[in-house]
Amino acid sequence: MSVKIDGDGAEARAFIDKVESLSNQDLLACYQCGKCSAGCPMAKYMDILPHQMIRFAQLGLKEELLGSQAIWMCVSCLTCNTRCPKGVRIAEVIEALRQLRLRDNRNDHLHVRELPASELAKLPPIAVIGSLRKGTS
């Protein structure tokens, strides 16, 4: 994926500050070891892997992150948090990204309440719980 940083960096800086504030995490604590991505059960479905999401967030790449499928693929299982040697709570960062996306009023993804019962029955409970949480936080 190609990345683009805005001209004076002010917008990127504001985005970084917002993500750090919402998640209560220090993004620069991450040194890109990749352990979070290696243990993520949803990594194979993601267009940006968890460690890449943290790197993108360090760089303030708002559009790439808020436009990604990966922030919605994360099921908040917290495996990444337990694996991080630097104590970065990746799941909270991803939750912050989802919140920012929802605040942008760009929520054009899955609406659980509109799914037919036959489809709902096929979904694992964690997917339903995770989706409801994403849509209401």
Report the residue number, 34 or 67, with the smaller CB distance to ligand SF4. 34
Name the nearest CA neighbour of 69 among 123, 19, 114, 134. 134
Distance of closest approach, residue 37 Cβ to ligand SF4, in angstroms: 7
Report the residue number, 51 or 62, with the smaller CB distance to ligand SF4. 51
Distance of closest approach, residue 120 Cβ to ligand SF4, in angstroms: 20
The answer to whether 91 and 76 have CB atoms below 8 angstroms apart is yes
3-class secondary-structure state, position 26: coil
Name the nearest CA neighbour of 97 among 132, 68, 77. 68
Instruction: By CB under 6 A, name the binding residues for ligand SF4.
Output: 30-36, 40-42, 50-51, 54, 74-80, 83-86, 88, 90-91, 94
Distance of closest approach, residue 46 Cβ to ligand SF4, in angstroms: 8
Report the residue number, 12 or 43, with the smaller CB distance to ligand SF4. 43
Report the residue number, 74 or 100, with the smaller CB distance to ligand SF4. 74
How far apart are the C-alpha atoms of 90 and 81, rounded to whole Å?
6
Report the residue number, 11 or 39, with the smaller CB distance to ligand SF4. 39
Distance of closest approach, residue 123 Cβ to ligand SF4, in angstroms: 15
Residue whose structure tokens are 């917290």? 78
Distance of closest approach, residue 42 Cβ to ligand SF4, in angstroms: 4
How far apart are the C-alpha atoms of 96 and 1, rounded to whole Å?
22
Q: Is 113 left (phi over 0), alpha (psi -120 to 50) or beta?
A: alpha
